[in-house]
Each structure stands twice: as C-alpha cells, then as structure tokens.
Copies of this chain bind each other. A is one copy, B any other.
Amino acid sequence: MGESLSDIGEKEILNRLKRFVSSGQISDDTAEINSLGKKLLINTDVLVEGVHFDSLTTSPSDVGWRAITANISDLAASGVDQLIGVTIGLIAPPETPWNWVEELYVGMKESLRPFQGEILGGDCSKGSARIVAITAIGTLGPLRLHRANAVPGDWIVTSGPHGLSRLGLALLQTETIVQSSSLSNELKAKSIEAHKRPTVPMQSLKNLITSKPKDLPWRAAGTDSSDGLLEAIKNLCESSNCQALIERDKLPTNPEWPLGKLWEEWCLNGGEDFELVLSLPPSWAKEWIKINPLSKAIGIMRAGKPNIFWANNLQKINLEVDFQHF
C-alpha cells in the first residue's frame, strides 16, 4: 500500500502538495487571485468535528462564529481590504438535528456582520462526521502581507494580548488550575468571550496601512496567531529564513495576567487568539503601536537559521505544540 498520511505527517503532505499549487495558500495564509487589475484573496479551511471542534461542549453558533473568524483572520493576515464573502461546504450525519445546522449558520452570519461579508453559497452532503469547509474571498488592499517578508532588524509586533482564548477554555472546562487562581470576574468574562466569540483585529490592519512612514516601501511580514503566538513567529522565521529574539518581560498578555510557567505557556502556545503577528521596520512598528493601544513590540528578527530565542539569555524557546491535524 505504500506510506500513509500518518506515516509522513501533515507538514510533508503540504510540502508534497506544493508542486500542484500555483500560489500562496499552502505556504502562506491565502492565495492571491489577479483578477483583471483587481487582486482578490481567497482562503479555504476545513473544520472537522472531533478534530477542530467538539459538538458536545461547543454550541453550533459558536462553532460557526469561530469557523468564519478563523478564515477571515487568514485574509486579514494577508492584507485584505474588504471581505466579499464565504462559501460553505457542510457535511453532517443524517441524524444531525436541523437546529444544529441552523444555529451553525446563525453563528456564521453573526460573525460576518461586522465585515459586511455574505455567505455566497455552498453545498451540503451526508457523511459520518460534521465537517465545515469554508472558502472566504476578499479584495486585497495596498499592503500584501506575506510570511516570507521579514528581514533582520525588523521588530516583531502583535496586535493584542494572547492566552485569553486558552484561559476561556479552561474556565469553560472548569480546569483545576483556574479554579484555584484568583482571577477578576472581568478577566474571566473577557476570556470566555475570547474563546467563544473571537474577533479579527481589522482596525489594527487598517491602522497598519495608515501608519506606514512615507519613506518606507510596502514591505511587511505577517501571519495570525490562530495556532498560537510561538507558532506564528516560527512560521514567519521559517518562511523568511531568519530568527527571532523574544523579550520575556514583554510578552503580550492582559494587564491582569498572572505570573507563572503555565500562564506564560498559555500566552505562547494557547492558540486561537487570532491576533496579527507582524515583522516590521522599527519606525513603522513605532508608528503603528502609537495608534494601536493593545499592540505590543515583543522582539526582533535577526539573521540566522530559523529559531526562536529568549533575548535575555539566548536560550532556545522550545515548542511543545500540537496543531498537526493528522
């Protein structure tokens, strides 16, 4: 039978698929379509029950909201100007309650509203599990963000705090650690909201465009932190072939965030934060931070083999993440 997908792993699968793919989305967040003078961004994500979401613990409207948000987040991390809409491929077992599907679509519509995006169409079929395949399409603005655009000397910046979604999950699952922590009700509520109804920092992206110093070209690297902050930085490093130094005391957390190993871990690897993670020339980064109250500079890029180090002791930051979907 030859080697199986589990033999070679997702990374290698994607690598092997590259030769079939003309542009961006395999190695970047989206693919670009040059459509008669106007460039569009298009992105497809699949979400599988039991892999990306759990129907027993997540309401269908939250599944729908997050599915759309994750997709728009990829468009934002590539420089989308205006969302056009999404198509939805839905698969579900015949015994699925209609309500589940309806609420899923309600959640999707709700999450599209602030972006004035439409559900353009789709398809549905029976299958053994619940699966949502979403394709989002939007127009590209003046700044095309690529993962591969970072250069040594850049500042690494992010549009907001990280770890909230992971904390929200812990609270919803009443994990022991959060029961014994003294957290304000405000932080708890914010974290649960961040987990159930994450948002895309579209205003931060618009601010990125208006804050560019006139003497700089439109060159910036970007991705989103849907798979975690460290994973995002790692992707920038690997695509740009440079290394990151991260300031341990500048991690982007909520002001009330507790100290400790676990909390640092959640900031770095919690995932599903959907913030922009950018690599920018310092002067651009400074201007952007000025007008983005939640944004933060967290490190710099330097020449060298792709790796991430703590800036103070040059210790390698070890990733123990599992966002592989095979």
Instruction: Write the residues of chain A forming the contact surface with B, with a CB cutoff of 8 angstroms.
Output: 1-8, 10, 13-14, 16-17, 20-26, 30-31, 33, 35-38, 40, 42-48, 51-52, 84-85, 87-99, 101-102, 105-106, 108-109, 118-129, 131, 133, 135, 137, 139, 325-326
Contact = CB atoms under 8 A, between A and B. Distances in A.
Contacts of A24: 120-121
A121 B31 contact: yes
Q: Give the interface centre of A52, A124, A127 by most chain B CB atoms within 10 Å.
A: A127
A26 B2 CA distance: 40
Contacts of A45: 89, 123
A46 to B, nearest CB: 4
30 contacts: A4-B96, A5-B97, A6-B94, A8-B98, A10-B124, A13-B98, A13-B124, A17-B101, A20-B105, A20-B108, A21-B119, A22-B120, A23-B121, A24-B120, A42-B120, A44-B87, A45-B89, A46-B89, A48-B91, A48-B125, A48-B126, A52-B125, A87-B135, A89-B135, A124-B325, A125-B325, A125-B326, A126-B325, A128-B128, A135-B135
A21 to B, nearest CB: 5
A35 B3 CA distance: 43
Given A40-B35, A44-B87, A129-B129, A119 B20 contact: yes
Given A84-B35, A119-B22, A139-B35, A48 B127 contact: yes
A84 B33 contact: yes
Contacts of A30: 121
A89 B89 contact: yes
Given A16-B102, A35-B40, A4 B124 contact: no
Contact of A133 (B4, B7, B46, B137): B46
